[in-house]
Amino acid sequence: MSIHTNEKWDIELTPHSSLLDLKLNDVWHYRDLLILLVRRDFVSFYKQTILGPLWFFIQPVFTTIIYTFVFGNLANISADNLDKPLFYMAGITAWNYFADCLTKTSTVFVTNAGLFGKVYFPRLIVPLSIVVSNLIRFAVQMVLFLLTMIFYSIHGSNVHPNIYLLLFPFLLVLMAMLGLALGMIISALTTKYRDLSFLITFGIQLMMYGTTVIYPLSAVKAKYPQYAWLVEYNPMTPIIEAFRYGFLGKGTFTMLSLGITTLITTAILLAGIIIFNRVERTFVDTV
């Protein structure tokens, strides 16, 4: 019997690999699975709903109405000299994408334990599929936001889009990276500490209040300068401020703050990759 020592394999499984190894070659090899998971996430979530994808529009519209009434009218919180519905919709649109990526990624190991224990595929595909499938919802909400912006512009609103609109793809990547990174870290921790799965929704809500979704950074600096740094160093704050500044022409935005957010997001993503790769090797024994 002859032994072939120069055989080439599509995938090679080894017991040890670098914690920073993303296995991107394997991810590309399983790209069809990625597309399938994206389709599954979209179809399964709305399959048994009456209104289906219309919820993409309903949620931001009703959230904007409530925020305008509660925070804009009752609490009289500043909207940076913008029409309040437009101000809140800008923050909601950006925040929803990040929050959805974080929430759904944070339960990857627990919700897919049965699948992970039966067959091999690069585990990173599952959180990546969540980030990609959420892009569909984000795209629909962006269309709604742009239509709202055009409507207010026609009616004489103080809206001034500028060259920083070109940063939009970069801001989108930052939101995806941050949601993916934090989600992978929390998902890894929930394999041992299930309580985190109950705290995640509450934690995201608290994080939103620490971000400039319902108020501008300029108002915090003016009224509470001693606490402004807490909001300013929240990684999502410069992203939302840059988003508003690019599309609406209002926002406390600097390239330095965006650069710091990029460094923080990259560091969190590296930490998320290390923790995710470490936990995926043994999580079946603990889930």
Map out the domains of the chain as residue ranges.
52-286
Judged on CB neighbours under 10 Å (0-12, 13-18, 19+), 82 is buried
Q: What is the mean pLDDT of residues 231-249?
A: 93
Over the range 166-178, which residues count as b (16 or more CB within 10 Å of their CB) and which as e? ebeeebbebbbbb
Give pLDDT, residue 264.
94
At residue 2 the predicted structure's pLDDT band, cuts being 50, 70 and 90, is very low
Q: What is the mean pLDDT of residues 189-213?
A: 83
Count of helix runs (H) and strand runs (E) in the chain? 14, 0
CB-based contacts of 269, cutoff 8 Å, min separation 6 = 177, 178, 180, 181
Q: What are the CA-CA distances from residue 27 to residues 23, 129, 199 (Å)? A: 6, 11, 31
d(CA 109, CA 31): 20
CB-based contacts of 38, cutoff 8 Å, min separation 6 = 129, 132, 133
The structure's pTM equals 0.85
Give pLDDT, residue 88.
95
Q: Report CA 126 to chain centroid distance, whole Å.
A: 15
d(CA 136, CA 50): 19
* Tokens matching residue 123: 């585990």
- Nearest of 98, 134, 106, 104 to residue 211 by alpha carbon: 98
Per-residue pLDDT tens for 62-120?
Answer: 999 999 999 988 888 888 888 999 999 999 999 999 999 998 888 887 777 677 767 77
Give pLDDT, residue 45.
65
* Tokens matching residue 182: 């934090």
